[in-house]
C-alpha cells in the first residue's frame, strides 16, 4: 500500500502546514481539500514517473486518445479508490475529526465536456490505466468548462464555469514541453535540391503549454497521462526568434495576447449540434497540432525510424472534432521529416482511427472552404491533395459515377467534410453500438462501407463500473462484495455471479433496502438544498441527460400531463406514488430546448402545488446536471428513461449506469438499449414504440401526419392544447414553438406516434412495481448483466481489434 492510516495523518498535517502555514483545525474545508489532493498527487507521482520511464524503455506501442472533451468530474474520490487507500484515508481523517465526504464536496467538478461523448473519453482513460494499457488523453485545458445552470423563474440561466479559480491540484504545468502552433499566414513554395519545399511566413504563432493530469489505474502501478493544452501568447523573445515580430512591436504582441488566449478560453456548449464557428476550428487545430507535434517529438527521442511510427503509436480520434490530425500528421511527415507523399500517407493511414458518434445531420461537422483556407493555408493544401488523389481513384480505379463521387468527396459545395476526411485518412471507423454501426454501414456511410468494408467495425460504448458502481453506490458495492467476492472490481463480467441470487429473497431485500436508503438520503439532501419535500417511498422515475428534441423529454412530460388529467378526474385513482425527476442542460443557443425546460418547470409548479391530487405524483427538475449530480441520483433510480426516437441515439451511456445500479430500463429499441435488452432478456426491460426501421421508413417515404393524429386523438389534442390555452397559467405564447414543431413541422421526432405505446409501457412498469418481488428480481438481474457494459470490456476490444496494443505491467 502506498500509505497507511498513520502516514496519511502525519503527511496531511504536514501538507496543511507547508501549503497554508496553518494547523489542521485552523484550515478551511477548501484548504483541507487542496492539501489532501496535493498529498494524493504526491503519492501517485512515483508510479507516474515509473510508468513513463517504463513505457519509454520498453518501447511499447502508445495510444493517444484525442478528444475535444473530457468530462472527468471530480478526481479525489476516484483517485483514493484507485490507489486503494480510500478506507485508510477515511479513518485517518475521522481520527482528526474530519469527514472525508465534506472534503470531497469542496472539489469543483471538472466539466470539460458536454455529455456522453466527453464522459466516454473520461471512462476510457480510467479503463486504459486500470487495464495497464499505455493510453493517454489529449485535449484542451478550457479555462471555462460547460456553463453552470441555474433555474430562475423556471428558465435556464447560464453562469460561466470558472473551475480554475482555485488552483487545480491535479495538474502539472510542463513549460519545457510547450510547442508552437501556427495559424494563418502564407505558404511559400520553393525548390531545394530538386525537391519542393514548403515554408510559412507571416503566421500567428501560438504557444501551446501542456498541463498533465495523472490517470491512476485501479490497484496496479500504472499512472497514465491526460495532457490538456492551454493557449498562450509567445514571449517577446520567442516571437522575435520566429521572426514573427521585429523588435519594437511588443505592444502589438500584447494586443494579440487576448485573442491568442481566447483559443482555450471556453468549451462550446453544443451537444449533437455543431455551429461552424471560426474559433472552434482554431481550437480543433490548436490541440491537434500541439498533440501531434508532441507525439512526434517523444517518438523521435526513442530513436525509432519515422517510417515505423504506426508500429509504436496509435492516434484515435473521438468523433470528427480532431480529424485535422490526418493533415497535420501529413504536414509534419512531409514538411518537417522530409518524407514523400505516398510514404507519409501510408504512415498516417496506418496510425489514425476514428469513432463516429452520430448520424444526425446537424451534428456532422463541415467547414467553409474560405474560412478554413484563411486559418490553415498549408493544411488546406494537404486536404486538397488528399482529396484530389481520392477522387481520382474513385473515378479511374472504381469507375464511380459523378453523383456518388460528389457525396464521398472530402471537399464538396465549398465545404470540407470532416467525417469523410477521417474515413479516408484513417484505417478504422467504428460506431458506438451495434444498431448504430449497422445504420452507418447500411445508410449514412454506405458508399464508404462498400469502398472500405475492412475499415468498419463496432465498439459498443461502456462506462467505468468503478466510478459508477463502486464509488457512486458504496452500500450496493459492499453487498455485492460480501456476496460474490471482490473480483468483479477488476473483472466486471464476474457480476454475472449475482444472477444466482436474483430469486434469493434475502439478497433481493438487502438490495432493495439499499435503494430505499439511497432514496431517503437523497430526499433529505433535496429538502436541505431546495426546501422541496419529496416522498422517498414513491417510485423514482428518472430522465437525466442533455436536453434535446431527439431524447424526447416532451414524451415523458406528455405522459405526466396525461396522468395529471386522470388524477384531476379521479383523485382516488389507485396508483403507486411517483416522483418524476428531470435534469438537463440546454445549449444556450438552442431556444426550443430552453422552452422545453420552461415547460417542465411549469408543469412541475402546477402539479406540485395541487393538493387535490394528494401528492400522488410530483415532478422535479434538478438544476445543473453534471457528473456529480449523476453520481448521486442514478443509485436512487427505480426507472431509467431511455426514450429517444429510435435510430437517433447512437448508443447512450446513461442507460448503462442506471442498469448497473439496479434501475429498470424503460426504453425504445435505440442505441445500446438493444444490447441491454439482449443481455437482460425481454422480461427484464420495458420496451415500447417504433423501431429504427419503422422510423427510417417514415422518414424516407413519408406517411406520417402529425396534424391528422392531433385532430383525431382526443387525448393528444387535450395535452397539446393545454400548452397554448392558458391551462398552465402562463402567457399563451410561452410554448408556441413546441406547439409549432409538433403540429406545423410534423412532429419530427414521432412523439404523437409513440405516445400511446409509451403510456402503456408506463402502465406496465407500474404493474410490475406492484408485483414487488418480481421487480426486485428484475433489478438484481439487471445488475448481474451490467458487466458487459463496463468500459474495461470496450477498451479490451479497442485494444485488440483497432490499436493492437499490449498491456504493460508496471513494476
Ligand atoms: C453519462 C452522462 C451523460 C450521457 O447520458 P445519456 O443518457 O447517454 O445521454 C451525460 N452527462 C453526464 C454528466 C453523464 O454522466
DSSP-based three-state secondary structure for 731: coil
DSSP structure class, residue 800? I
Q: Looking up cell 415523458, which residue turns up?
A: 556
Q: Looking up cell 507523399, which residue turns up?
A: 341
Which pairs with CB-CB distance under 8 Å and at least 24 residues apart come from 331-336? 331/378, 331/379, 331/382, 332/292, 332/293, 332/296, 333/306, 334/198, 334/382, 335/197, 335/198, 335/378, 336/296
Encode pLDDT of 682-700 as tens digits.
Answer: 999 999 999 999 999 999 9
Cell numbers describing residue 2: 502506498
- Angle made by CA atoms 83, 87, 91, in degrees to the nearest 5: 130
Domain 465-527+536-789: which topology? Answer: Rossmann fold (3.40.50)
In testing the pocket of ligand 1, which one of 73, 654, 655, 660 has its CB within 8 Å of the most ligand atoms? 654
Encode pLDDT of 361-398 as tens digits.
Answer: 888 899 999 999 999 999 999 999 999 999 999 999 99
Q: Is the pLDDT of residue 207 over 60?
A: yes
DSSP-based three-state secondary structure for 790: strand
Q: Is the pLDDT of residue 230 over 70?
A: yes
Q: Which of ligand 1's atoms lies nearest the C-alpha of 116?
A: 4
408 contacts 447 by C-beta, under 8 angstroms? yes
Which residue among 515, 618, 657, 753 is the active-site one? Answer: 657
Beta strands in 379-425 (DSSP E): 411-412, 415-417
- Predicted pLDDT at 614: 87
Average pLDDT over residues 700-721: 97
Strand partners, 152: 155
Strand partners, 151: 156
- Predicted pLDDT at 274: 82
User: Rounded to 10 degrees, what is the CA torsion of 450, 451, 454, 460?
Assistant: -60
Which residue among 15, 32, 74, 545 is the active-site one? Answer: 545
Q: Which of ligand 1's atoms lies nearest the C-alpha of 651?
A: 8
Cell numbers describing residue 99: 469527514
Angstrom CA distances, 527 to 268, 521, 535, 538, 626, stand at 33, 10, 11, 15, 20
CA of residue 654 to ligand 1 center, whole Å: 5
Mean predicted lDDT score pLDDT of the chain? 96
Q: Which of ligand 1's atoms lies nearest the C-alpha of 551?
A: 9
CA of residue 1 to ligand 1 center, whole Å: 34
Q: For this structure, is 551 an active site residue?
A: yes
Cell numbers describing residue 96: 482528526
Which residue among 282, 546, 585, 618 is the active-site one? Answer: 546
Q: Is the pLDDT of residue 3 over 70?
A: yes
Q: For this structure, is 545 an active site residue?
A: yes
Q: Give Rg (Cα) of the chain.
A: 27
CA of residue 795 to ligand 1 center, whole Å: 19
**Residue 465 to residue 474: CA distance in whole angstroms:** 12
DSSP 303-368: T--GGGHHHHEEEEEESSTTTTHHHHHHHIIIIIT---HHHHHHHHHHHEEEE-----GGGS-EEE
**Residue 807 to residue 135: CA distance in whole angstroms:** 10
Q: Is the pLDDT of residue 248 over 60?
A: no
CA of residue 790 to ligand 1 center, whole Å: 15
Average pLDDT over residues 770-783: 98
CA of residue 613 to ligand 1 center, whole Å: 33
Atom 15 of ligand 1, residue of closest alpha carbon: 627
Segments making up each domain of the chain, as ranges: 271-464, 465-527+536-789
Query: What band does 255 get if pLDDT is binned at 50, 70 and 90?
Result: low
Cell numbers describing residue 344: 507519409
Q: Is the pLDDT of residue 247 over 60?
A: no
- Predicted pLDDT at 362: 85
Q: Which of ligand 1's atoms lies nearest the C-alpha of 631?
A: 15
CA of residue 371 to ligand 1 center, whole Å: 33
Phi then psi dihedrals of residue 417, to 5 deg: -100, 115
CA of residue 482 to ligand 1 center, whole Å: 30
Q: For this structure, is 357 an active site residue?
A: yes
DSSP 102-148: HHHTTSPP--BS-SHHHHHHHHHHHHHHHHT--EEEEEE--SBEEEE
347 contacts 310 by C-beta, under 8 angstroms? yes
CATH of domain 271-464: 3.40.50.2000
In testing the pocket of ligand 1, which one of 545, 625, 639 has its CB within 8 Å of the most ligand atoms? 545
Average pLDDT over residues 42-65: 96
Q: Which of ligand 1's atoms lies nearest the C-alpha of 625?
A: 13
CA of residue 563 to ligand 1 center, whole Å: 27
562 contacts 759 by C-beta, under 8 angstroms? yes
What's CA 490's distance to the chain center, in Å? 23
Angstrom CA distances, 127 to 149, 230, 311, 358, stand at 30, 25, 22, 23
Q: Express as a percent the part of the chain with pLDDT over 90.
A: 93
End-to-end CA distance of the chain: 14
- Predicted pLDDT at 253: 58
What's the whole-model pTM score? Answer: 0.97
DSSP structure class, residue 266? B
Q: Which residue has the higher pLDDT, 470 or 243?
A: 470
644 contacts 634 by C-beta, under 8 angstroms? no
- Angle made by CA atoms 110, 112, 118, in degrees to the nearest 5: 115
Which residue among 551, 552, 585, 616 is the active-site one? Answer: 551
Q: Which of ligand 1's atoms lies nearest the C-alpha of 629?
A: 13
**Residue 121 to residue 275: CA distance in whole angstroms:** 22
Atom 11 of ligand 1, residue of closest alpha carbon: 115
What's CA 162's distance to the chain center, in Å? 20
Angstrom CA distances, 222 to 37, 49, 740, 804, stand at 19, 10, 54, 19
Atom 12 of ligand 1, residue of closest alpha carbon: 115
Pocket of ligand 1 (CB under 6 A): 115-116, 119, 545-546, 626-627, 630, 652-654, 657
Angstrom CA distances, 39 to 13, 33, 79, 89, stand at 10, 10, 11, 11
Instruction: Evaluate whether 271-464 and 465-527+536-789 have a shared fold.
Output: yes
Amino acid at each position: 500500500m502506498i500509505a497507511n492510516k498513520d502516514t496519511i495523518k502525519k503527511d496531511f498535517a504536514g501538507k496543511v502546514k507547508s501549503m497554508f502555514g496553518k494547523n489542521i483545525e485552523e484550515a478551511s474545508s477548501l484548504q483541507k481539500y487542496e492539501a489532501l489532493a496535493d498529498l494524493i498527487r504526491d503519492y501517485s507521482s512515483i508510479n507516474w514517473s515509473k510508468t513513463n520511464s517504463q513505457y519509454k524503455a520498453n518501447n511499447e506501442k502508445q495510444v493517444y486518445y484525442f478528444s475535444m472533451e473530457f468530462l472527468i468530474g471530480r478526481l479525489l474520490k476516484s483517485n483514493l479508490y484507485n490507489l486503494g487507500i480510500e478506507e485508510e484515508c477515511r479513518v485517518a481523517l475521522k481520527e482528526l475529526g474530519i469527514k472525508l465526504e465534506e472534503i470531497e464536496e469542496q472539489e469543483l467538478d471538472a466539466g470539460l465536456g458536454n455529455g456522453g461523448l466527453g464522459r466516454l473519453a473520461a471512462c476510457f482513460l480510467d479503463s486504459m490505466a486500470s487495464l495497464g494499457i499505455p493510453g493517454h488523453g489529449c485535449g484542451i485545458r478550457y479555462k471555462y468548462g460547460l456553463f453552470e445552470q441555474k433555474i430562475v423563474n423556471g428558465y435556464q440561466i447560464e453562469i460561466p464555469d470558472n473551475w480554475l479559480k482555485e488552483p487545480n491540484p491535479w495538474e502539472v504545468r510542463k513549460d519545457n514541453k510547450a510547442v508552437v502552433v501556427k495559424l494563418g499566414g502564407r505558404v511559400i513554395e520553393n525548390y531545394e535540391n530538386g525537391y519542393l519545399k514548403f515554408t510559412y511566413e507571416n503566421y500567428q504563432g501560438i504557444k501551446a503549454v501542456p498541463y498533465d493530469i495523472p490517470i491512476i489505474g485501479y490497484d496496479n502501478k500504472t499512472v497514465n497521462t491526460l495532457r490538456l493544452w492551454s493557449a498562450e501568447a509567445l514571449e517577446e523573445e520567442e516571437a522575435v526568434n520566429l521572426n514573427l515580430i521585429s523588435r519594437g512591436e511588443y505592444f502589438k504582441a500584447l494586443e494579440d495576447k487576448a485573442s491568442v488566449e481566447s483559443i482555450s478560453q471556453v468549451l462550446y456548449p453544443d451537444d449533437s449540434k455543431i455551429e461552424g464557428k471560426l474559433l472552434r476550428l482554431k481550437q480543433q487545430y490548436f490541440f491537434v497540432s500541439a498533440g501531434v507535434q508532441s507525439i512526434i517529438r517523444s517518438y523521435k527521442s526513442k530513436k525509432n525510424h519515422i517510417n515505423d511510427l504506426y508500429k509504436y503509436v496509435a492516434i484515435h480520434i473521438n468523433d470528427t472534432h480532431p480529424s485535422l490530425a490526418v493533415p497535420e500528421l501529413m504536414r509534419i511527415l512531409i514538411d518537417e521529416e522530409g518524407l514523400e507523399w505516398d510514404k507519409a500517407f501510408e504512415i498516417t493511414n496506418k496510425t489514425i482511427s476514428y469513432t463516429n458518434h452520430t448520424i444526425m445531420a446537424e451534428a456532422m461537422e463541415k467547414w467553409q472552404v474560405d474560412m478554413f483556407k484563411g486559418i490553415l493555408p498549408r493544411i488546406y493544401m494537404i486536404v486538397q491533395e488528399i482529396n484530389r488523389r481520392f477522387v481520382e481513384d474513385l473515378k479511374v480505379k472504381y469507375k464511380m459515377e459523378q453523383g456518388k463521387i460528389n457525396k464521398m468527396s472530402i471537399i464538396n459545395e465549398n465545404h470540407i467534410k470532416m467525417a469523410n476526411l477521417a474515413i479516408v485518412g484513417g484505417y478504422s471507423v467504428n460506431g458506438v453500438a451495434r444498431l448504430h454501426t449497422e445504420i452507418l454501414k447500411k445508410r449514412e456511410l454506405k458508399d464508404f462501407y462498400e469502398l472500405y468494408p475492412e475499415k468498419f467495425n463496432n465498439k459498443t460504448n461502456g462506462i467505468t463500473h468503478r466510478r459508477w458502481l463502486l464509488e457512486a453506490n458504496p452500500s450496493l458495492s459492499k453487498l455485492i462484495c460480501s456476496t460474490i467476492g471482490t473480483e468483479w472490481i477488476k473483472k466486471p463480467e464476474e457480476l454475472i455471479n449475482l444472477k444466482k441470487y436474483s430469486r434469493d429473497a434475502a439478497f433481493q431485500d438487502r438490495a432493495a433496502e439499499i435503494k430505499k436508503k439511497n432514496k431517503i438520503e437523497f430526499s433529505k439532501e433535496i429538502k436541505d438544498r431546495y426546501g422541496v419535500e419529496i416522498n422517498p417511498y414513491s417510485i423514482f422515475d428518472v430522465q437525466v441527460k442533455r436536453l434535446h428534441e431527439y431524447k424526447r423529454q416532451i414524451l415523458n412530460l406528455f405522459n405526466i400531463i396525461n396522468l395529471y388529467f386522470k388524477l384531476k378526474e379521479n383523485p382516488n385513482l389507485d396508483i403507486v406514488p411517483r416522483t418524476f425527476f428531470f435534469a438537463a442542460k440546454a445549449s444556450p443557443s438552442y431556444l426550443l430546448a430552453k422552452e422545453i425546460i420552461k415547460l417542465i418547470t411549469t408543469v412541475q409548479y402546477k402539479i406540485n402545488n395541487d393538493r387535490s391530487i394528494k401528492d400522488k405524483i410530483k415532478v422535479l427538475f434538478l438544476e445543473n446536471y453534471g457528473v456529480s449530480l449523476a453520481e448521486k441520483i442514478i443509485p436512487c433510480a427505480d426507472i431509467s428513461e431511455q426514450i429517444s426516437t429510435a435510430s437517433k441515439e447512437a448508443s447512450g451511456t446513461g442507460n448503462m449506469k442506471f442498469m448497473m445500479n439496479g434501475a429498470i430500463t424503460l426504453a425504445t429499441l435505440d442505441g445500446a438499449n438493444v444490447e441491454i435488452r439482449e443481455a437482460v432478456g425481454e422480461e427484464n426491460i420495458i420496451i415500447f414504440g417504433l423501431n429504427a426501421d419503422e422510423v427510417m421508413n417514415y422518414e424516407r417515404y413519408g406517411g406520417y401526419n402529425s396534424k391528422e393524429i392531433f385532430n383525431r386523438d382526443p387525448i393528444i389534442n387535450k395535452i397539446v392544447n393545454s400548452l397554448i390555452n392558458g391551462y398552465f397559467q402562463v402567457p399563451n405564447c410561452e410554448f408556441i414553438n413546441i406547439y409549432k414543431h409538433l403540429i406545423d413541422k410534423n412532429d419530427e421526432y414521432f412523439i404523437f406516434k409513440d405516445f400511446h405505446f409509451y403510456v402503456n409501457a408506463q402502465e406496465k412498469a407500474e404493474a410490475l412495481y406492484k408485483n414487488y418481488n418480481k421487480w426486485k428480481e428484475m433489478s438484481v438481474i439487471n445488475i448481474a448483466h451490467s458487466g458487459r457494459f463496463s468500459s474495461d470490456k470496450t477498451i479490451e476490444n479497442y485494444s485488440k481489434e483497432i490499436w493492437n496494443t499490449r498491456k504493460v505491467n508496471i513494476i
